[in-house]
Amino acid sequence: MATMNIAIEIGTSHTSVYLESAGVVLREPTAVAYVGDGDNKSVVAVGERAMSMMGKTPDKTTVVCPVVDGYIVDVDACKAMMSEYIKRILPVSYIFFPKIKAILVTPTGLTVDERKVYEDVVLQAGVAEVTLVDNVIATALGFDLPIASPAGGFVVNIGGGITEIALISVCGIISGCSVNVGGSMMDRALMDYLVGKYGLKVGGLTARRIREEIGTLYNNDVSYLEVKGININTLTPSTQCVYAEDTCAALLPYYARIADAIQGVTNLCPPELSSSVQGSGVFVAGGCAKIPGVEKVLGEILEIPVTVAEEPELVSVLGAGKLIGNKDLIKQIRSQQ
Q: What is the residue-wise DSSP string for 228-293?
A: EEEETTT-SEEEEEEEHHHHHHHHHHHHHHHHHHHHHHHHTS-HHHHHHHHHH-EEEESGGG-STT
Q: Are residues 104 and 221 in the same domain?
A: no
Strands 99-106, 129-134: pairing kind: parallel
Tell me phi and psi for residue 86, to 5 degrees. Answer: -60, -45
Q: Are residues 251 and 117 in the same domain?
A: no
The answer to whether residues 135 and 316 touch, using CB atoms and an 8 Å cutoff, is: yes
Q: Are residues 221 and 101 in the same domain?
A: no
Q: Are residues 16 and 76 in the same domain?
A: yes
Whether residue 25 lies inside any domain: the answer is yes
Residues shown for the chain: 337
Whether residue 270 lies inside any domain: the answer is yes
Q: Are residues 132 and 152 in the same domain?
A: no
Q: Are residues 163 and 219 in the same domain?
A: yes
Total domains, the chain: 2
Q: Are residues 257 and 155 in the same domain?
A: yes
Q: Are residues 149 and 288 in the same domain?
A: yes
Q: Are residues 96 and 156 in the same domain?
A: no
| Tens place of pLDDT per residue across the chain (337 aa) | 688 999 999 999 999 999 999 999 999 999 999 988 777 788 899 999 999 888 887 878 889 999 998 899 999 999 999 999 999 998 776 667 889 999 999 999 899 999 999 999 999 999 999 999 999 999 999 999 999 988 779 999 999 999 999 999 999 999 899 999 999 999 999 999 999 999 999 999 999 999 999 999 999 999 999 999 999 999 999 999 999 999 999 999 999 999 999 999 988 888 888 878 888 999 999 999 999 999 999 999 999 999 999 999 999 999 999 999 999 999 999 887 7
The reported pLDDT for the residue numbered 94 is: 67
Q: Are residues 191 and 251 in the same domain?
A: yes
Whether residue 35 lies inside any domain: the answer is no
**Maximum CA pair distance of the chain?**
64
Q: Are residues 83 and 184 in the same domain?
A: no
Query: What is the residue-averaged pLDDT of the chain?
Result: 93
Whether residue 88 lies inside any domain: the answer is yes
Nearest to 217 by CA among 185, 253, 188: 253
pTM of the model: 0.93
The reported pLDDT for the residue numbered 57 is: 78
Provide the sign of the torsion angle of the four alpha carbons 265, 104, 314, 251, taken in this order.
negative
The reported pLDDT for the residue numbered 1 is: 60
Beta bridge partners of 231: 200
- For 172-218, write each residue's pLDDT tens digit: 999 899 999 999 999 999 999 999 999 999 999 999 999 999 999 99
- Residue 159 belongs to domain with CATH number: 3.30.420.40
Exposed, middle or buried, 239 (CB in 10 Å: 0-12/13-18/19+)?
Answer: exposed
The answer to whether residues 288 and 159 touch, using CB atoms and an 8 Å cutoff, is: yes
Whether residue 203 lies inside any domain: the answer is yes
The answer to whether residues 138 and 162 touch, using CB atoms and an 8 Å cutoff, is: no
Q: How far apart are the C-alpha atoms of 11 and 44, rounded to whole Å? A: 21
Whether residue 250 lies inside any domain: the answer is yes
Whether residue 9 lies inside any domain: the answer is yes
Q: How far apart are the C-alpha atoms of 304 and 318, rounded to whole Å? A: 26
Domain span holding position 18: 3-30+65-137+319-336
Q: Are residues 324 and 303 in the same domain?
A: no
The reported pLDDT for the residue numbered 151 is: 76
The reported pLDDT for the residue numbered 184 is: 93
Number of H helices, E strands in the chain: 11, 18
Whether residue 41 lies inside any domain: the answer is no
- Torsion, CA 149, CA 151, CA 152, CA 155, rounded to 10: 170
